Chains A and B, each alone.
Chain A
Amino acid sequence: MALTPQDAGRAADGTAVLSGIGTNADAGWLRVHPASPFVRGWVALAALLFFFGRDSFERFLQGGPVFDERLAGRAPWLLLGGGTLLLLTVLGYVLSWYFTRYQVAGGYVRVNTGFLFKQQRQARLDRVQAIDVVQPLLARIFGLAELRFEVADAGQSAVRLAYLRADEARQLRATILARASGAAAGTPAPEPGHPEPGELASGELASAAVEAPEQAVLTVPPPRLLGSLLLSEQSVVILAGGIASVMLSAVTENRNFTVFLIPAAIGLLASYWSSFNRGYNFTAAVSPDGIRLRYGLLDTQAQTVPPGRIQALKVSQPPLWRVFGWYRIQVNVAGYGLASSAGEGSARTTLLPVGSLADVMKILALVLPDPGTEDPVGLFTAGITGLADPAGAPGSAAGRDADGGFVTSPRRARFLAPLGWRRNGFTATETALLLRSGRWWRNFVVVPHQRTQSMALEQGPLARRFRVADLVLHTTAGPVAPRLIQAGLDEARALFDAQAARARAARKHQKSEHWLEPAAQPAAPPAEDPQEGPHHG
């Protein structure tokens, strides 16, 4: 059910590959939890029961006959129809459960689905871009969790296993990450602990199923989350809209439109609630397998992004957050794709919903373990809050303002961007290109040299008049669109050449997809990590 036939066509090199031939057909195929179709399809079942059951139930409570007198003759038919529908639905669920099987073996994760239209899908483990363990409220009540395996195709998840038992899902995640990192590729470790017989059908699966130890880095306290929501861009728009409508009502003396405010208010509350629900209890941690994020009040989600999977990062600050010095961090990860649906998508690409400058630095240190500069904190601070000297460097025709190392727009561009010209700028460290922009809406973008896909210089007629140009870096789909705004022409051209060379050099030094080769792997701790509480997804 999670894998639809439309997904089947998207076969690309090293990503999800559909193959009609079964390989390793009998080695360690497992099924998802039997309750999962009911947890996924509970809405349909509930609607069915509600439709057929409510009327009868109410009559039963009122002490009347269970069926309306007028319908009494037809009652058996109604019952039969409803029963058949229910039976068919349940049968469909059971069949879909029975024919959904998965396997982790030989460097691949494979999933077979469907009983009429069969689909077999396999994805290479070392191409993993991210692994999420998602627990919607109902699944959480039953102790179930969904595992999502992302590869780089910027669309839907390559592999979704819904649902597994929560501990099983975590174990599978650990296994996949251990395989993908190369830590468990060589010698399979002896089976740790007491694996439950139903859970670990294959000894191979059990071999590496120890969670990598992790270290909590930061949490977002709920009051701050609430404050950040109240001061978000959305609130500014609402406030403006509210003032406008009050003014309008005062001018036109027409009170009728207040009727429309009620559904609007309900919608707004729902939107705030869903943001709060998603961002609640946000925790970032670091482990050898990458960055771990956990969040959610009712629906919880735990993401693992292995090292080097972040394609671009953006630190931004809406104007009202400046009062408290708060920032937000969003990232492009190849598997997550564009945050088109405002709900889930944007949460998954948010690395920090709200945090102080110190929190931002911690996250930046996680994402860029090797910043490639002497003074990363100073440079990042200049990127986030810096502003060039208004006078500009005297005598420099190119207007090179070395503000903490940032080269900003030349002074001649101040007519194009009267506020932003002192802010728009770039600098490059040995490992990443840093871009900053925006006076009111501060933005600071980091693109590792290794991750640059392609670049373009763009110049319109007005920009040509002022001898400035924009440099656009292309990365995978996501909320971050790196763009250097109005750099001086000479600087932009120099950067264009230099950046192509840097990206080329970085690609040559790129490490393998296995981020932990067996040699570098420290002895895995035998016990489950103490951080891994029952609350975690």
Chain B
Amino acid sequence: MRTEAIDPPGIDWLRVSPKYVTVRLAGWALGTLITVALLSLPLVLVLTGAWTWPPVWLAVALPAVALVLALWRLVLIPRQVRSIGYAEREDDLLIRRGIFFQRTLVVPYGRMQYVDIAVGPVERQLGLCTLKLHTAAAATSAEIPGLPASEGARLRERLSARGEARLAGL
């Protein structure tokens, strides 16, 4: 993965597990299924004759458009996952994400208030976890999804230790 334009130069990004694609796919499949099923309701009602108003082409177009958009997002998922990266520096943690809308975040260790690890059902099956950093600013929203459980635990311990060493007030 090449370094994107807004990233600081000379950073060795650590990538999240490729298995995280599966987690995203599961979420995508569920979301798409529900959306398309809901949007197909008018089509079913029109075909059974319960509704007369929406013409058949419109009733077909609605779920079809949703499906096309979902497929577009499906194509992007592997690239989005590959674009997630993090790097531990001397005094801060860098987190990047995004292809079209990129974001590179820097969280100083001394500013971390606490570190969370969350595991969802699909993640548990794959042995992954999501690490979240919290600072006093709600807008920080620093999270690294799709870490292998061992790496997550290692990072949490390491971040806590570094945070303690560099602890600053507000």
Contact = CB atoms under 8 A, between A and B. Distances in A.
Contacts of B92: 500, 504
B101 A503 contact: no
A83 B5 CA distance: 75
B8 A507 contact: no
A457 B97 CA distance: 11
B106 A453 contact: no
B11 to A, nearest CB: 11
Interface string A454-482: 11111111001001010010111100010
Contacts of A12: 113
A12 B137 CA distance: 15
A474 B8 contact: no
Q: Is the interface of A mostly helix, strand, loop or mixed?
A: mixed
A459 B105 CA distance: 12
B107 interface: yes
B104 interface: yes
A460 B137 contact: no
B12 interface: no
Contacts, number: 98
A67 interface: no
Nearest to A460: B101
A474 B108 contact: no
Interface string B91-121: 1100000001111111110110100000000
B59 interface: no
A52 B153 CA distance: 65
Count class of interface residues, chain A:
35 or more
B142 to A, nearest CB: 7
A334 interface: yes
A196 interface: no
B108 A454 contact: yes
A301 B70 CA distance: 54
A278 B135 CA distance: 32
A164 B137 CA distance: 33
A496 interface: yes
A461 B139 contact: no
Interface string B6-37: 10100000000000000000000000000000
Contact of A461 (B100, B136, B168): B100
A13 B135 CA distance: 12
B105 A454 contact: yes
Given A464-B5, A496-B8, A504-B91, A456 B105 contact: yes
Interface string B33-59: 000000000000000000000000000
Contacts of A510: 168-169
Interface of B: 5-6, 8, 91-92, 100-108, 110-111, 113, 135-140, 142, 166, 168-170
12 contacts: A453-B136, A454-B107, A455-B106, A456-B104, A457-B105, A459-B6, A460-B100, A467-B5, A474-B135, A476-B137, A500-B91, A507-B168
Interface of A: 12-13, 129, 152, 154, 309, 311, 334, 451, 453-461, 464, 467, 469, 472, 474-477, 481, 489, 492-493, 496-497, 500, 503-504, 507, 510, 513
